Each structure stands twice: as structure tokens, then as C-alpha cells.
Amino acid sequence: MLDVPHSATRRFGRVLGHLGFVLLLCAASAWAATALFIQLNGALQITAFAVLALTFVAILILRFRKRRLGWFGLAVAALAVGGWYLTIHPRQDRDWAADVAHGVSGTVQNDTVTLSNVRDFKWTSDQVATPHWDSRSYDLSQLQSVDMITSTWGDPNIAHLLVSFGFTGGDHVVFSVEIRRERTEVFSSIGGFFRQFELVLIAADEADIVKLRTNYRGEDVHLFQVKLDAQQRRALFLRYIDFGNELAKTPEFYNTVTANCASTVYHLVQVIKPDMPLDRRLLWSGQLPEYIDELGGLQGDMPMDQRRIAAEISALAKTFHQGQDFSALIRSR
């Protein structure tokens, strides 16, 4: 057996300890730098980066001069950054982008639901629209369908999820959990981890929110009929209203993983299925139809590849012409 001197073992342990400390310090500094980059700008951002760099060097010096002081410096810096980060709160009063300027809220009286701030934009391109928000009333006793709509672009494993409720007579209202951007902001998945965006629940006409994706953004959109009974449809609709009212009262941050269009709906759906299992496809949202199908939640009985073909609506939507009923058109397959 090889006899390793005790002093050599200690030196090796010390090197490993220093390496682990440096890696931890680098990871923490990278996190702090990203947060500062997203949350600050101008001279304040430059100053914060300078302080962070000086702190990084000071902690390294402390570590190699006296190990315990290095840990103490790291702990103090972490508390300072964490304390600052916790002062960042979601707000309602920012200069919002036009399409997310209002979140939906609602009131319920017996079977009558009145929604405020239903979006009905008339889009002429993927960026330009005539804005219109209105109030609409729905009779819950006439609620007859729920559809899951997925919209993908680029990566087919990543989809935006919308849920559409249909009423006798052909009315539909779509709920969409979205990031609430300011006018000057664009979506960033990294920013979604660092409190850059608030969360908003949009209620919209299908000729607005679905046609925007099919006809102007050129996204790949599928519509799947969800299998729910009347009581479940009603409970889910009311849960969406409650969520809109909650956000109107207490704003929340969007999060790329824990509070996005799929994970938020997962929590809402628990009102009708409390034991709904967690699944990786809540992250790979383009595969949500397969997840729901495995739970027995889609109408009809056919293989999933056939379901996907039957659910395609983008080509149909592009045949739309003025005067048509868009909701009837995308269901005419």
C-alpha cells in the first residue's frame, strides 16, 4: 500500500478547500452580476458592478490570508446582495406594453360572470394593432367546452399554453398567463429568473390572441378538446377568475420555471384534479398534450400522432377573411 505523508494529505485537502471556495464565490458573483445587470441601469449599474468586483477581490484576499475571514466576508456579501434583492417587489403601476396593459378581473352573481378588461385587439401585423378592451358577461349554465391551445415557434418542445372556454351560441373566451412587459422590454428567459417581469392573466377573444399567433407570428398552433364535465368546466372557469382577481389585488412575479404559462395553469387545474402529478413536460410545455392525454384528459380515442394532425389549426386560420367567425373557422376541420 502506498504510504502518503500526512503533510501531503493536508496540502491536498487545503487545495481542494480553496478550489471549492473559489468556485462557490464565482457562482455567487455570477448570480449577483446577472441580477444587477437586469435590475439596474446607467451609473447605478456601473457603480454596483465596481463594488461587486472589489468585493470579489477582497473576499479572495481574506480567504488566502485567513480562511475563516474568507467565509465571513462571503457570508456578509451574500446577506447584503440577498437583502437588496428582497427589496424588489412586483408592482401594478409600470408603463406596460399595450397588449398586457390590463389583466382580467371578474365578478360572479349566480350563473352570470362579468369579466372586466377582455382584450379584443385588431392586429394588422405581429407588432401593430388597434387596441380595445371591454367588459363581457357569460352565463355559466351555457358553458359547454374547454379547449387547450398550444403555440410553438422554433423549438417544438417549448409552447405557450392558452385555455379557451366555449359557450352555447359560439362565444369563446381565452385565458392566457403571460409575462407583463414594460413598453421598452422584450422577453428574456434569463430575466424571468431574476424578477424582471410581473405575471398577468389575459382574457381575450380568439380572433385576437389566437389569430395573432397563427396569422401574424406564423406560429404552429394546435387546439385540443379537453374532456371535462359541466361541474369541472365551471370550477376551472371560476378558478381562472379568482386568479385574475388575486393578481389585481396582489401582483406576482413571472418566473421562467415556477410561474410561467404551464406551471401556473398546473396549479389552477388542481381545483378539479388535486392529485395531478408533477411531470417534466410541465417544463417541456410543447409536450403537454401528451401529458394530458396520458391522464385521460383529451376528448376522443386515437393515437397521439393522429390527435396532433387533427389539432392543427394554423393553416385553417390563415384562410380567414373579413366577416368570418374565426372561432367557428378553426374548429371546422
User: How confident is the model over 31-67, as pLDDT tens digits?
Assistant: 999 999 999 999 999 999 999 999 999 999 998 888 7
Any domain includes 50? yes
Any domain includes 93? no
State the pLDDT confidence band at 68, using cuts at 50, 70 and 90: confident
- Residues 56 and 200 placed together within one structural domain of the fold: no
**pLDDT given for residue 15 in this prediction:** 74
The stretch 65-84 carries a mean pLDDT of 92
Any domain includes 92? no
In whole angstroms, what separates CA 217 from the centre of its chain? 19
- Residues 22 and 139 placed together within one structural domain of the fold: no
**pLDDT given for residue 13 in this prediction:** 65
Which of the listed residues 64, 85, 106 is the one where a domain comes to its end? 85
Cβ atoms within 10 Å, residue 113? 21
Q: Which residues of 295-330 are buried (b: 16+ CB within 10 A; e: fewer)?
A: eebbeeeeeeeebeeebebbebbeebeeeeebbebb
Statement: residue 18 has pLDDT above 70: yes
- Residues 132 and 37 placed together within one structural domain of the fold: no
Any domain includes 222? yes
Helix%, strand%, coil% for the chain, nearest 5: 45, 20, 30
Statement: residue 112 has pLDDT above 70: yes
- Residues 13 and 104 placed together within one structural domain of the fold: no
- Grid cell 424578477 in the structure block, residue: 195
- As a dihedral over the C-alpha atoms of residue 25, residue 31, residue 33, residue 34, rounded to 10 degrees, the angle is 160
Residue that wins the pLDDT comparison between 96 and 2: 96
Statement: residue 174 has pLDDT above 70: yes
Statement: residue 113 has pLDDT above 70: yes
**pLDDT given for residue 3 in this prediction:** 53
- Residues 266 and 217 placed together within one structural domain of the fold: yes
- Grid cell 406596460 in the structure block, residue: 96
- Residues 296 and 321 placed together within one structural domain of the fold: yes
In whole angstroms, what separates CA 81 from the centre of its chain? 25
- Grid cell 449577483 in the structure block, residue: 32
Q: What is the mean pLDDT of the chain?
A: 94
The stretch 272-299 carries a mean pLDDT of 93
State the pLDDT confidence band at 14, using cuts at 50, 70 and 90: confident
Which of the listed residues 36, 60, 85 is the one where a domain comes to its end? 85
**pLDDT given for residue 65 in this prediction:** 84
- Residues 199 and 222 placed together within one structural domain of the fold: yes
Any domain includes 210? yes
Statement: residue 4 has pLDDT above 70: no
- Residues 79 and 119 placed together within one structural domain of the fold: no
The C-alpha cell that represents 26 in the structure block = 464565482
Any domain includes 90? no
Residue pLDDT, tens place only, 251-279: 999 999 999 999 999 999 999 999 999 99
Statement: residue 102 has pLDDT above 60: yes
- Residues 129 and 27 placed together within one structural domain of the fold: no
Residue pLDDT, tens place only, 206-248: 999 999 999 999 999 999 999 999 999 999 999 999 999 999 9
The stretch 304-331 carries a mean pLDDT of 95
- Residues 209 and 322 placed together within one structural domain of the fold: yes
State the pLDDT confidence band at 194, using cuts at 50, 70 and 90: very high
Question: Whole-angstrom Cα distance, residue 150 to residue 312?
Answer: 10
Residue 75, domain extent: 8-85
Total structural domains within the chain: 2
Cβ atoms within 10 Å, residue 154? 8
Lowest mean pLDDT among 7-16, 151-160, 302-311: 7-16
Any domain includes 110? yes
- Residues 77 and 104 placed together within one structural domain of the fold: no
- Residues 168 and 67 placed together within one structural domain of the fold: no
Statement: residue 6 has pLDDT above 70: no
State the pLDDT confidence band at 317, using cuts at 50, 70 and 90: very high
